[in-house]
């Protein structure tokens, strides 16, 4: 119990450094861009590190199939792939920053990432 309290006090001493690192993390998240594709590239979705979808490109081939349900499934699949990749990139970036700050990283990564 007291060991955890000591770690928290140490973090409070480094609050300016921690705030700077968080600001840096937010900048890195904005720059992360990943893509997910489905149907062999018929649908390509891009997402950023803020978990925002930034683009969705539907190929002429997918449109020519004229299958609304399949297209919806491809969009959902490509979106989920892109968001999963974004989460992975965010986890790597946050682990690097935590390591630079000397913060312990729990098994399984940082919570919420």
Query: Is residue 5 in a domain?
Result: no
Tell me the pLDDT band of 17, cut-offs 50, 70 and 90: confident
CATH number of the domain that 94 lies in? Answer: 3.30.1310.10
Torsion sign across C-alpha atoms 40, 45, 48, 52: negative
pLDDT over 70 at 88, yes or no: yes
Instruction: Write the pLDDT tens digit of every residue in 18-44.
Output: 777 778 778 878 889 999 999 999 999
Query: Is residue 22 in a domain?
Result: no
CA 68-78-53 angle, 5° bins: 105
Query: Is residue 72 in a domain?
Result: yes
Q: Is 37 helix (H, G, I), strand (E, B) or coil?
A: strand
Instruction: Write the pLDDT tens digit of every residue in 56-73.
Output: 999 999 999 999 999 999
Q: Widest CA span of the chain, in angstroms?
A: 65
Query: Is residue 3 in a domain?
Result: no
pTM given for the model: 0.72
Ramachandran class of 40: left when φ > 0, alpha when ψ lies in -120 to 50, beta otherwise: left
Q: Is 33 helix (H, G, I), strand (E, B) or coil?
A: strand
Higher pLDDT, 11 or 19: 19
Kindly state the tokens that stand for 11.
């973090």
Query: Is residue 105 in a domain?
Result: no
Q: Which domain holds residue 70?
A: 27-98
Instruction: Write the pLDDT tens digit of every residue in 99-113.
Output: 776 766 655 555 554
pLDDT over 60 at 79, yes or no: yes
Total count of domains within the chain: 1
């Amino acid at each position: 119990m007291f060991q955890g309290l000591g770690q928290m006090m140490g973090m409070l001493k480094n609050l300016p450094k921690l705030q700077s690192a968080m600001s840096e993390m937010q900048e890195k998240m904005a720059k992360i861009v990943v893509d997910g594709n489905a149907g062999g590239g018929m649908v390509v979705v891009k997402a950023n590190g803020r978990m925002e979808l930034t683009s969705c490109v539907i190929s002429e081939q997918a449109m020519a199939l004229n299958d609304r349900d399949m297209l919806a499934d491809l969009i959902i699949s490509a979106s989920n792939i892109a968001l999963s990749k974004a989460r992975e990139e965010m986890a790597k970036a946050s682990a690097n920053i935590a390591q630079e700050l000397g913060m312990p990283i729990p098994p399984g990564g940082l919570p919420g990432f």
